[in-house]
Chains A and B, each alone.
Chain A
Amino acid sequence: MHVPDGFLDASTSIATGAVAAGAVGLALQRSEREVREAGAPLTGLTAAFVFAAQMVNFPVGAGTSGHLIGGALALVLVGPWTALLCLTAVLLVQGLLFADGGLTALGTNVLLMGVVPIVVGSLVLRLVLPLLPRRPRSVVPAAGLAAAVSVPAAALAFTGLYAVGGTVDVPLGTLAAAMVGWHVLIGAGEALITAAVVGAVVATRADLVHAARHLRPDLVLVDADGRRSAAPSPGTAPGVLAPARPARRPLAVGLAVTAVVAGLVSLAASASPDGLESVAGALGFAGGAQESAAASSPLSGYGVSGVPSPLLSGALAGLLGVAVTVAVGAGTALASRVLGRARRSTRA
């Protein structure tokens, strides 16, 4: 994940270093009050947590395990400015003490693994949280979505930097397709892990989750006559009250979020086979014909002709996939319940 030295030329590396330093300076300024009140130890320990949590093996399905990248997780847990400080500290230590990531690419890495995921993740949170019911648990799907979007966004940002200061002449279409396609997969794993960890924290100490602080549901007051009235919950009250919402809502919201994610993911994923195709095309070209490979650069294949219908069909396929998955899941749940009841009744 870390970009090493030499991928981007010297001037681009220096420019990204300057941008990253500016972003970190802004974060220092904006988080100053927070750090002064809560103390530097809190931020430092959170950085240590992100550093250590990156080494945990998470099962992400199909017998594989994934590692946390941590940008979206830090954003949701401690807020954007402190998160950027934490990630910068992690990257500095990895670069200087563990030789992980290049020395001259430090700025690039802070930009790609700190600034971009945090900015994109914040936008996603701001967009998604108002649509979800106002209670702490809503942060869980929002965190997952932020993680899912932020990883391909970082890949796209890398492609952009490469277009400006790449040292090797690779067809940009191929690079973008391959990077984004591959990172949509990584993003799906990151989303799973981030949502699971945020869910675990929300279940026990929702008051610690930065993105959930303003999501306390209103207090429901019942007076002597049994009349109900709502009062805004005090911001400092510890603990979280049970949601005073009908129980049907979460399923519908969950379905809607899943549909949106699936639509988006398949939109982006539809670029992946194209990427592989074009790599294969380039390979076949390299092996066979003698004319310049640039003439048939995949960019030309990414013209207007194919865009509208594959995008639509990809999104539709994603939605259909969700519908089928939900149907299969509901069917399995129903079947297991019926089977369990039958088994229990035969045993009794």
Chain B
Amino acid sequence: MRDSPVHRLPAQCKVVALVALALVAVAVPRGRWAAFAALAVLLVAVVALARLPVLLVLRRLAVEAPFAVFALLLPFVAAGPQVRVLGVGVSGPGLVDAGTLLARATLGVLAAVVLASTTSARDLLGGLARLRLPAPLLSVLTFMLRYAAVVADDLRRVRIAREARGASGDRLRHLGAVAAGVGSVFVRTYERGERVHRAMLARGHRPGTPLVEGAPARPAAWLAAAALPAAGLLAVAVLR
């Protein structure tokens, strides 16, 4: 993980600031292109401040692709008076709506990408703990993040074993083999969960003891984080 002022900001501040900015982006009325552009500039500035590789950001933005397709189809199915674009008649309001949708979704994904690329899983858990996420949910999240790679490894080994035995897994008749592998990984995962719990109890863990505790954020950090949604809100209020 790189280092920058954005990376160093406590996770709870980042979560609140970026969710607030995404909310601002969703609340911008349709067709206010200047406001959308201002929000985009703000987020790009944060990306630059965090010194995130452009390629990485673009790759992560690709998550949005299916919805971009949906948005591009909108002008054709939406209701309203027709306008001609490149010789094809499309719904005028649909065109504005599609652009608005695309802008909001892109800004939202960009905010999520900034959060995801500048926050480690451990920091995020600490931040969520400071934001009073219920302790049981937090411990579920903790164990999930700890063991996701282990389970993924189990699944990979099962896949290799299956392929070595001739079931490539691209034919319908291999469905049983693929499912049997996944099912056996579930059984293993379940039993691992029981073992981990017993091992923790044996080592003196008392259920209910919090597993993660985040560090409190200084007021300066909150102020720095609040600057982003505040600037966004100001831009939306000023630019009409």
Please give the residue numbers on chain A whose beta carbons come within 8 Å of chain B beta carbons, in ascending order. Answer: 4-7, 9-10, 13, 24-25, 28, 31-32, 35-36, 38-49, 51-53, 55-63, 65, 77, 85-86, 88-90, 92-93, 95-105, 167-171, 174, 192-193, 196-201, 203-205, 208, 279, 282-283, 286-288, 290, 292-294, 297
Task: Give complex CA distance A31, B18 in Å.
Answer: 31
Residue of B nearest to A178 (CB): B77
A5 engages B140 (CB within 8 Å): no
Which residue of the partner chain, among B105, B190, B198, B201, contacts A45 with CB atoms under 8 Å? Answer: B190
Interface size on B, residues (CB 8 A): 96
Q: Are A4 and B77 in contact, CB atoms less than 8 angstroms apart?
A: no
Assess whether A99 is in contact with B115, with CB atoms less than 8 Å apart.
yes
Can you list 28 residue pairs at the A/B interface with Cβ under 8 Å?
A4-B64, A4-B105, A4-B109, A10-B26, A24-B137, A31-B136, A39-B193, A44-B146, A45-B189, A48-B145, A48-B146, A48-B147, A49-B151, A53-B185, A55-B152, A57-B169, A59-B172, A85-B137, A93-B145, A96-B116, A103-B108, A104-B23, A168-B100, A169-B97, A196-B175, A197-B183, A199-B179, A200-B176
**Complex interface residues of chain B between 86 and 135 (CB less than 8 A to chain A):** 88-91, 93-94, 97-98, 100-101, 103-105, 107-109, 111-113, 115-117, 119, 121, 124, 134
Tell me if B33 counts as interface (CB < 8 A to partner A).
no
> Are A200 and B60 touching (Cβ within 8 A)?
no
A297 to B77, CA, bound (A): 10
Query: Would you give the shortest CB distance from B189 to chain A, in whole angstroms?
Result: 4
Residues of chain A within 8 A (CB-CB) of B196 are 39, 41, 45
B225 at the binding interface (Cβ < 8 Å): no
**Interface residues of chain B: helix, strand, loop or mixed (majority):** helix
Most buried by B among A48, A51, A62, A65: A48
Interface residues of B (CB under 8 A from A): 15, 18-19, 22-23, 25-27, 30, 60, 63-64, 67, 74-82, 88-91, 93-94, 97-98, 100-101, 103-105, 107-109, 111-113, 115-117, 119, 121, 124, 134, 136-137, 139-148, 150-152, 154-155, 159, 169-172, 174-176, 178-187, 189-190, 192-194, 196-198, 200-201, 207-208, 211
Question: Interface of chain A, helix or strand or loop or mixed?
Answer: helix
A47 contact set on B, CB distance < 8 A: 140-141, 143-144
Q: Is the CB of A7 within 8 A of B147?
A: no
User: Bound state CA distance, A25 and B100, in angstroms?
Assistant: 34
Q: Which residues of A contact B198 (CB under 8 A)?
A: 39
- What residues on B are CB-neighbors of A41 within 8 Å? 143, 193-194, 196-197, 200
- Asked, given contacts A4-B109, A99-B60, whether A49 binds B81 with beta carbons under 8 Å apart, the answer is no
Asked if residues B26 and A9 are in contact (CB atoms below 8 Å), the reply is yes
**Contact A290:B179 (CB < 8 A) given known A48-B147, A96-B116, A103-B111:** no
Question: B109 contacts which of A102, A288, A297 (Cβ < 8 Å)?
Answer: A102
Expressed in whole angstroms, the minimum distance between the Cβ of A348 and any Cβ of chain B is: 28
Q: Which residue of B lies closest to A199 (CB)?
A: B179
Task: Please name all residues of chain A whose beta carbon is closer than 8 Å to the beta carbon of B78 when the two chains form the complex.
Answer: 168-170, 293
A201 near B101: Cβ-Cβ < 8 Å: no
